[in-house]
Amino acid sequence: MLTATARFKAALKESHTAMSRIVLLQPGTTSGYTEAGKFSIASGTLMMDGTRNVWRQANVTVIPHDMFSKAELDKVGVTSRIRIDRGIRFAEGPEEWVTMATLQVQEVVMSVDKIGVDISAYDCGSQIDDYALITPYVPQDKVGVKLTTVAAIQDLVNTADVWETSTWKIDTGIDQTVTPPDGTVFTGGRWEAVNNLAKSLGAIVHSDVDGSWRIRHADITNDAVVDTYKTGDGGVIVGHNARHSRDEVYNAVPLRWEGVNEGGLVFLVDNDASSPTFWNGPFGRKPAPEENVDTVKTAQQAQDAAAALLSQKKGATRLVDFTAVHNPLLEPLDVIDVKVDGKTQRHVIDSISYPLAGGTMSCQTRMLREGA
């Protein structure tokens, strides 16, 4: 969940005026980006999906604050970045803003008979997509010294996202000393290499809201609940529907690994009796296809990687799609309580769609367990 003041959070469920804006970020002469203007949003949506490499993307139509200053929009190009801010104007007058996304512009469409400009933009993960591995990648520095797994992830990202010095947020508990197995070589997709390295740490990697990069724990099962959404009096859910499905739902993960002197198969199951996919429960036993992670070289790494994979696969028999009053602080992988028809369920958010010019947000979630 994004950071904001207690006042901002409280106002989200009270009467307030919501505002959105686009801040144009232009590349400097040698590196970095600086603010180069602010625009109003005529229409558009910010989509966030924690199941993808590129978490955030937006399609927006922007207009200048002054309709006679259309020339300001000519600055927007495919080397620009945009920042999407969401604000609240409180009843007594002051404003407060939070950043929802920092995105690389992909496409700009201008029309002579239209005041606004259409912009398509993705988060900085798109830079990793753009720059495939031209030659095989060996996780070592320029003088041949072996890199740690974390340093190799950073190297793969930094080499693609070159204009701004990357900043990194690494969750507490991520092992920053472990190294990939001897002989590790990656070819093909840069994201594939990043993801395989992250799996060995029980982690995932993504571009964060401010354009920085984050290495975070993949297992969110026991994360703290950030908010509660409910129907009825005092609730913020406007509409919802629930689906039950066994497709792509698994309650065990077999992961095969091979180190220098040892190897084996780790088989982890959903052993939470309150989970809808409990291994010894009525859902039955349904292991995922066997995974082979080349970057795992110890039994502990194999356990961490399997736990992370299981966290992403279990608990999805009940999926809830709901529309609700805007909360710009929510992010994918946030854990929330959903109260529908008097029943409380713990869910993890997979994706969110925010209309930026009015309307309600929509979320897709999967249930982790019944009850709070």
183: CATH: 3.55.50
Does one domain contain both 365 and 230?
yes
Q: What is the pTM of this model?
A: 0.85
Q: Which residues contact 178 (CB under 8 A, 6 or more apart)?
A: 148, 149, 200, 201, 298, 301
Q: Which of 9-13, 110-114, 182-186 has the highest mean pLDDT?
A: 182-186
Two tokens at 275?
């989970």
Q: Let me know whether 88 and 145 are in one domain.
A: no
Q: Do 239 and 211 share a structural domain?
A: no
Domain that holds residue 160: 128-217
Asked if residue 158 and residue 117 are part of one domain, the reply reads: no
Residue 102: how many other CB atoms lie within 10 Å: 23
Q: What is the pLDDT, as a whole number, of residue 66?
A: 63
Q: How many separate domains does the chain show?
A: 3
Domain identity same for 66 and 112: yes
Domain-ending residue, one of 73, 108, 123: 123
Are 97 and 167 members of one domain?
A: no
Q: Residues 207, 210, 213, 216: is their CA dihedral positive or negative?
A: negative
Contact present, 175 and 118 (Cβ < 8 Å): no
For the chain, what percent of residues have pLDDT higher than 70?
91
CATH classification of the domain holding 115: 2.40.10
Do both 136 and 102 map to the same domain? no
Mean local confidence (pLDDT), 336-344:
80
Residues 346 and 277 placed together within one structural domain of the fold = yes
Confidence band of 183 (pLDDT split at 50, 70, 90): confident
The rounded distance, in Å, linking the Cα atoms of 140 and 134 is: 16
Q: Do 159 and 188 fall into the same domain?
A: yes
Residues 289 and 308 both lie in one domain: yes
Of 170-174, 310-314, 315-319, the one with minimum mean pLDDT is 315-319
Q: Are 11 and 90 in contact (CB under 8 A)?
A: yes
276 in the same domain as 230: yes
C-alpha triplet 129, 131, 135: angle, nearest 5°: 125
**Residue 40 in domain:** yes
Rg (CA), the chain: 22
pLDDT tens-digit map of 52-103? 999 999 999 998 766 556 677 888 999 999 999 998 887 766 788 999 999 9
Q: Tell whether 293 and 195 lie within a shared domain.
A: no
For residue 30, is it within any domain? yes
Coil, helix or strand at residue 89: strand
Cβ proximity of 41 and 62 under 8 Å: yes
Choose among 3, 211, 195: nearest CA to 122: 211
With respect to residue 1, please indicate whether it lies within any of the assigned structural domains.
no
User: Does 113 or 35 have the greater pLDDT score?
Assistant: 35
Q: Name the residue with higher pLDDT: 316 or 211.
A: 211
